Structure 1
Amino acid sequence: MILQSLVRYYEALEKKEKITSPGWCTAKVSFALDISEKGELLRVIPLKLEKQKGKKTVMEPQLLRVPEMVTRSSGVSSNFLCDNSGYFLGIDNKGKPKRSEECFAAAKKKHLEILDGVEGNAAAAVRNFFESWNPGGAAEHPALADSLEEMIAGANLIFCVDGDWVQNDYDVREAWEIYRDGAETDNEGICLVTGQKTEISRIHGLIKGVPGAQSSGAALVSFNAPAFESFGKEQGYNAPVGTYAAYAYTTALNHLLADKSHTSQIGDTTVVYWAEDGEEIYQNIFGGAVEPTVDNQAIVAGVFNSLEMGKPIVVEEVEGSLSLDQRFYILGLAPNAARIAVRFFYQDSFGNILRHLKEHYDRMDIVRPAADEMRYMGVWRMLQETVNKKSRDKKPTANMAGAVYRAIISGGQYPASLFQGVMGRIRAEQDDKDSHIHKITKGRASIIKAYLIRNGYDKEEEITVSLNENSKNVAYTLGREFAVLEAIQEEANPGINATIKDKYFNSACATPAAIFPVLFKLKNSHIRKISNHGKVVYFEKLLGELQDKMPVTEEQMVPCPRRLSLEEQGMFILGYYHQNQKRYEKKDKEEAQDVRDN
């Protein structure tokens, strides 16, 4: 299904002339060998361009359309019209001159075979070059002096004749197409992707651009040992994919991975996404919705509002509106030695995927500090809440990251590892006496809220965006009580460095019956220090109201459970967070009123 979807995407892009056709590919090219019709090397033309990467300006090779390049793992096999110095000049920096000679001989044989009898200056120049070039004297050639070191490091080279790239010459292009179409094959079969009888590809093209995989490219489909083969089939013949389909899916996937504006990194997983009709605007909308920034919060809100009201989604750069029925695909890839592993693959209508995203953001919505403008927290920011900020590797757990992404876009339940990761980080940072990190952030509270709602803990719909003063949930009420007790301590000791939260929070959250009697004794001594009688009355009244929400049975005279489950601990943290935000909200209003009065 993945390969079929990629082939359809390739065909959509080919109709729009946004991608190379069969027999051609896009390659990074660093230099052009400018040669005369007699095959003499006149000069080397640098092709690298300046590009801005963050605050730095770097030189990067140009992306040029060249004849399809071969897949090389070992052995000698030449490309046509675009290859490295070992094949075109017979020299490289690998310290194996004999192999370099073999590479040049292979390139010479291939070019002379393809260009035999082809008319035109370009074809004649390349034939003459290979017939006259002496690999033994390459290092001393004056035209190579300035660029030799960089060229022999593995840079791709092309040929230039009379100011034009040879691969663009009409006669040369026609010769390449004839050579490619006329290649003999003994391996025909039914392609599993297209369903047609065609030549089966023995080795599929490499996929480049997956961080962590081999920089030269890794295979999505490959068989490299007898243990993976069956019925006497070798390599790609074990999963018969036609040469056209193999070219189409690898070209489409490389095109997606090369477009960094429409890829995202979640842990070790690289996520690419596309619409079946090849329209880029769908990628723009999805990318902005799944990883919102501070600047596009209003745009995302507008998309979701239109969706909720049943209105068409209108985008400025598109005539008319986007189709919510458009087929949309999301693919997560991860490195796996010489191969690429598929973390997840999801397909649905564009409208359904947006609805799932909106439902996720609605569950994540929680009261936030006045200065926080991030209404929509993207997946990457969400997963960062599970990461130890002091660790060297600040990536979330790989499997968990992929499972969370898949749950969000599909509308499924969140993995338990997400909830456990957040709770674990809160406990760990709470126990870290040297940590100055705010342990219960808005992000962590949002994740707890979303998890408890989606995974079925909140059966009575008690969990709200802000403080639910009517909730009688015991764990939630205990969290609120803890926040009030901490507020009393801070009111009694202005500017205090450490509060009851630093010493008692984890134990109060897990075993409240053992801790809350201690906290209430401390409260009595703290409240005597408060000189403002009005605040004393306020705090006592609030604690009384909270105590009234706690059920007391004959078997349990103390209105505290002995232990709280992990989900109940999440409710405790939500109660604490909500009560604190209510308190800060009141402070903000009082400060604003003081400003107006003055």
Structure 2
Amino acid sequence: MILQALTEYYEVLQKQGKAAAPGWGPVKVSYTLYLGEGGTLERVASIQIEQQRGKKTVPAPQIMSLPAPEKRTVGVVSNFLCDNSSYMLGVDGKGRPQRALECFAACKALHEKVLSDVDTPAARAVLAFFQSWQPEAAPEHPALAEYWEDILSGANLIFRYDGGFVHDDPAIRRAWERHYGGSGDDGGTEMVCLVTGEKGPVENTHPSVKGVQGAQSSGAALVSFNAPAFCSYGREQNRNAPTSKAAAFAYTTALNYLLSDREHVYRMGDATVVFWAKSGEAAYQSTFGSLFSDTYEESDLRNVIAELCKGHKAEYDEAMLDPDMDFYVLGLSPNAARLSVRFFLRNSFGGFLQNIQAHRERLRIVRPAYAKFEVPSLKSLLDATVNQNSRNKDASPELAGEMLRAVLNNTPYPATLLNGVTLRIRAEQRDKEHPERPFKITWERAAILKAYYSKNPNKNVPKEVLTVSLNEASTSIPYTLGRLFSVLEEIQQKANPGINSTIKDKYFNSASATPAVVFPTLVNLAQKHLKKLEAGWRVSYEKKLQGITDKLGEEYPARLTLPQQGAFQLGYYHQTQARYEKKEEK
């Protein structure tokens, strides 16, 4: 399914002129070898371009559309019309002259095979070059002297003849495309392609995929069989899951195109996330990408998303978006020299947006003054499960993948999300250098608790506590205890202005787990604090305490379960935010 979707996307990209034809691809090139009529090397010229790196401008290879390079491991495999000095000249800077000669022989054989029936001046010049070139004489050749060291360092070289690049010769291009499409690299074995369903030569080793963070910079394989345990029926490598050369080229080209578009590539844990619409319109990616950024809050975009969620078409970024358009989301994680699929999701574009909107509605909770947006972002939710003072501040890769799947599929949130938040609430202490910063029940954590129990119902966390703001009518004992704790903390702060450490620092965890043990002590402490207050404040707080304690009965619960602790935490958050809201109104 993944390969089929990517292959279809490649066909769209090719029609739009954004992807190369089969057998061609982007290659970094640094130097041109100018050939004469008899195949003689007349001169070498740099085609590097100036590139800004930091404050400096440095020469960098130029990216050109050339015959698709082969995927190399440890063997000798030549590319056509573009390669490094080992293959094109038979010399290298690694001190392995014998291997360089083997590379040159392989390159010569490939060009003779592809160009044997091409009768053009450029083809004859290339063949003459390989027949007459003497690798041992290369160090003394005057044309190579100026760029000798850089050429030996691994720079790619291409041919130029009679004022034009050899790879632009129409006859040579047709010869390469015939060779690429009709001579499988497994000796010509033909099998039924699992992607297209057509019979043809299979690709034994698929092209590399580049741009996945954490994977090898030279590229990694999405489909790979490299050990006997993965193989069956005597088939080697990718013949265990036969994919035609055309399909292998198509899906890797499409995936590399997506990964190279850095504006629409995102990180979730260790996963690199890409997404695309079946039509190939970039506006779908821009709209969907707002889930990972702050642009979701922009009024114009919110209006567009609202229309799409209703099933109506909407215009955005000069494109008409269709809610019924097929849309795909792919998450890839690095795994040595291969890639693992963290998740692959398919839905209509409108379906994904509706699920995202439902997630945002569940997150909606009264926000503090410092919050800039209506609901926490996906990244901030994951950050809320991690100790931000630790060296590694990244959320669990498994949690990140599960979380994104739950949001996009509108399925229950993973239990690891609740576990992560609970652990942070229990473990977190006030930052001594910044005592004003919120801790334990932050906005993000309160939003997670509300969203989690809204989507994962529990009888101990009734709907009456899963409100956006304070619900004073709630009769939930855990929720009311959380409210009471907040009021007791408020009384302590009022009686001791400027206090750095409150009862939350010492008693919050035990109060939410074993109320019967802690609350009698806290209530007695509050009575002492009330005596310090002026009569008006004292009466006000006594009435507030009375209104809350009347709902608790005569005894405090001995223990609260984990869901009940969640209700307690929401009660504390709601009551605390109501306290600050009233202060702002006054």
Structure 2-normalised TM-score? Answer: 0.92
Paired residues for 1:325-404 under 5 Å: 325-404=324-403
Matched, 1:568 2:557: no
Q: What does residue 467 of structure 2 align with?
A: 464
Query: How far off is 1:567 after superposition?
Result: 2.0
Query: How far off is 1:535 after superposition?
Result: 2.1
Q: What does residue 299 of structure 2 align with?
A: 298
Q: What does residue 101 of structure 1 align with?
A: 101
**SS state of the match for residue 333, structure 1?**
strand
Q: Deviations over 1:536-579 (max 9, x none)?
A: 222221111111222x3xxxx42x22222222222222222222
Q: Deviations over 1:400-420 (max 9, x none)?
A: 111111111011111010111
Of stretches 568-577 and 109-118 in structure 1, the one that deviates more from structure 2 is 109-118
**SS state of the match for residue 272, structure 1?**
strand
After superposition, the Cα gap between the structure-2 partners of 1:360 and 1:33, relative to the gap in structure 1 and judged at 3 Å, is: farther
CA contact (8 A) 2:492 2:502 kept: yes
After superposition, the Cα gap between the structure-2 partners of 1:39 and 1:267, relative to the gap in structure 1 and judged at 3 Å, is: farther
**SS state of the match for residue 429, structure 2?**
helix
After superposition, the Cα gap between the structure-2 partners of 1:133 and 1:542, relative to the gap in structure 1 and judged at 3 Å, is: farther
Q: Distance in 2 between matches of 1:568 and 1:56?
A: 59
Q: Deviations over 1:291-323 (max 9, x none)?
A: 1316853244223332455543221412xx311
Q: What does residue 484 of structure 1 align with?
A: 487
Q: Distance in 1 between matches of 2:93 and 2:562?
A: 59
Structure 2: which amino acid aligns with 1:68?
A: A
After superposition, the Cα gap between the structure-2 partners of 1:187 and 1:354, relative to the gap in structure 1 and judged at 3 Å, is: same
After superposition, the Cα gap between the structure-2 partners of 1:461 and 1:282, relative to the gap in structure 1 and judged at 3 Å, is: farther
Query: How far off is 1:154 after superposition?
Result: 3.5
Paired residues for 1:191-210 under 5 Å: 191-210=193-212
Q: What does residue 80 of structure 2 align with?
A: 80
Q: What does residue 40 of structure 1 align with?
A: 41
Q: Deviations over 1:151-179 (max 9, x none)?
A: 44434333334554332222321221233
Q: Distance in 1 between matches of 2:363 and 2:316?
A: 26
Q: Distance in 2 between matches of 1:418 and 1:89?
A: 58
Q: Which residue, out of 496, 500, 503, partners 1:500?
A: 503
Q: Deviations over 1:348-368 (max 9, x none)?
A: 111110000000111111211
Matched, 1:426 2:428: no
Q: Deviations over 1:434-492 (max 9, x none)?
A: 88553232112211211111111355353111222222222222122111111111111
After superposition, the Cα gap between the structure-2 partners of 1:174 and 1:396, relative to the gap in structure 1 and judged at 3 Å, is: same
Q: What does residue 525 of structure 1 align with?
A: 528
Q: Distance in 2 between matches of 1:169 and 1:197?
A: 30
**SS state of the match for residue 332, structure 1?**
strand
After superposition, the Cα gap between the structure-2 partners of 1:480 and 1:388, relative to the gap in structure 1 and judged at 3 Å, is: same
Q: Distance in 1 between matches of 2:41 and 2:351?
A: 61
Paired residues for 1:431-446 under 5 Å: 438-439=438-439, 440-446=441-447
Q: Distance in 1 between matches of 2:470 and 2:235?
A: 65
Q: Distance in 1 between matches of 2:505 and 2:155?
A: 58
Paired residues for 1:260-275 under 5 Å: 260-275=262-277
Q: What does residue 536 of structure 1 align with?
A: 538
Of stretches 422-431 and 160-169 in structure 1, the one that deviates more from structure 2 is 160-169
After superposition, the Cα gap between the structure-2 partners of 1:306 and 1:236, relative to the gap in structure 1 and judged at 3 Å, is: same
Query: How far off is 1:119 after superposition?
Result: 4.2
**SS state of the match for residue 334, structure 1?**
strand
Q: What does residue 170 of structure 2 align with?
A: 170
Q: Distance in 2 between matches of 1:329 and 1:348?
A: 7
After superposition, the Cα gap between the structure-2 partners of 1:300 and 1:241, relative to the gap in structure 1 and judged at 3 Å, is: same
Q: Distance in 1 between matches of 2:488 and 2:143?
A: 80
Paired residues for 1:57-68 under 5 Å: 61-68=61-68
Q: Deviations over 1:180-220 (max 9, x none)?
A: 34527542222221222222222222211111222221111
Structure 2: which amino acid aligns with 1:232?
A: G
CA contact (8 A) 2:91 2:101 kept: yes
Q: Distance in 1 between matches of 2:352 and 2:53?
A: 34
Q: What does residue 111 of structure 1 align with?
A: 111
CA contact (8 A) 2:333 2:341 kept: yes
After superposition, the Cα gap between the structure-2 partners of 1:134 and 1:511, relative to the gap in structure 1 and judged at 3 Å, is: farther
Q: Distance in 1 between matches of 2:89 and 2:300?
A: 54
Q: What does residue 410 of structure 1 align with?
A: 409
After superposition, the Cα gap between the structure-2 partners of 1:482 and 1:31, relative to the gap in structure 1 and judged at 3 Å, is: farther
CA contact (8 A) 1:32 1:47 kept: no
Q: What does residue 241 of structure 1 align with?
A: 243
Structure 1: which amino acid aligns with 2:466?
A: I
Query: How far off is 1:120 after superposition?
Result: 4.2
Structure 1-normalised TM-score? Answer: 0.90
Q: Distance in 2 between matches of 1:163 and 1:479?
A: 81
CA contact (8 A) 2:328 2:347 kept: yes
Of stretches 42-51 and 560-569 in structure 1, the one that deviates more from structure 2 is 42-51
| Identity within the alignment, % | 49
Structure 2: which amino acid aligns with 1:361?
A: R
Q: Distance in 2 between matches of 1:59 and 1:402?
A: 40
After superposition, the Cα gap between the structure-2 partners of 1:483 and 1:56, relative to the gap in structure 1 and judged at 3 Å, is: farther
Q: Distance in 1 between matches of 2:45 and 2:199?
A: 45
Considering only aligned residues, what root-mean-square deviation do their CA atoms show, in Å? Answer: 2.5
Q: Deviations over 1:121-159 (max 9, x none)?
A: 533443344344443454565655565544444343333
Of stretches 485-494 and 130-139 in structure 1, the one that deviates more from structure 2 is 130-139
**SS state of the match for residue 430, structure 1?**
coil
Structure 2: which amino acid aligns with 1:62?
A: Q
CA contact (8 A) 1:200 1:241 kept: yes
Q: Distance in 2 between matches of 1:140 and 1:367?
A: 77
**SS state of the match for residue 372, structure 1?**
coil
After superposition, the Cα gap between the structure-2 partners of 1:121 and 1:478, relative to the gap in structure 1 and judged at 3 Å, is: farther
Q: Distance in 1 between matches of 2:428 and 2:26?
A: 49
After superposition, the Cα gap between the structure-2 partners of 1:358 and 1:173, relative to the gap in structure 1 and judged at 3 Å, is: same
Q: What does residue 474 of structure 1 align with?
A: 477
After superposition, the Cα gap between the structure-2 partners of 1:2 and 1:397, relative to the gap in structure 1 and judged at 3 Å, is: same
Of stretches 265-274 and 138-147 in structure 1, the one that deviates more from structure 2 is 138-147
- Equivalent pairs counted in the alignment come to 579
Q: Deviations over 1:216-256 (max 9, x none)?
A: 21111111111111111111111122222222111111111
Structure 2: which amino acid aligns with 1:485?
A: L
Q: What does residue 595 of structure 1 align with?
A: none
After superposition, the Cα gap between the structure-2 partners of 1:307 and 1:548, relative to the gap in structure 1 and judged at 3 Å, is: farther
Q: Distance in 1 between matches of 2:101 and 2:258?
A: 37
Query: How far off is 1:509 after superposition?
Result: 1.9
After superposition, the Cα gap between the structure-2 partners of 1:235 and 1:460, relative to the gap in structure 1 and judged at 3 Å, is: same
Matched, 1:323 2:322: yes
Q: What does residue 451 of structure 1 align with?
A: 452
Q: Distance in 2 between matches of 1:90 and 1:589?
A: 81
After superposition, the Cα gap between the structure-2 partners of 1:119 and 1:579, relative to the gap in structure 1 and judged at 3 Å, is: same
Q: What does residue 582 of structure 2 align with?
A: 586
After superposition, the Cα gap between the structure-2 partners of 1:58 and 1:454, relative to the gap in structure 1 and judged at 3 Å, is: farther
Query: How far off is 1:34 after superposition?
Result: 4.3
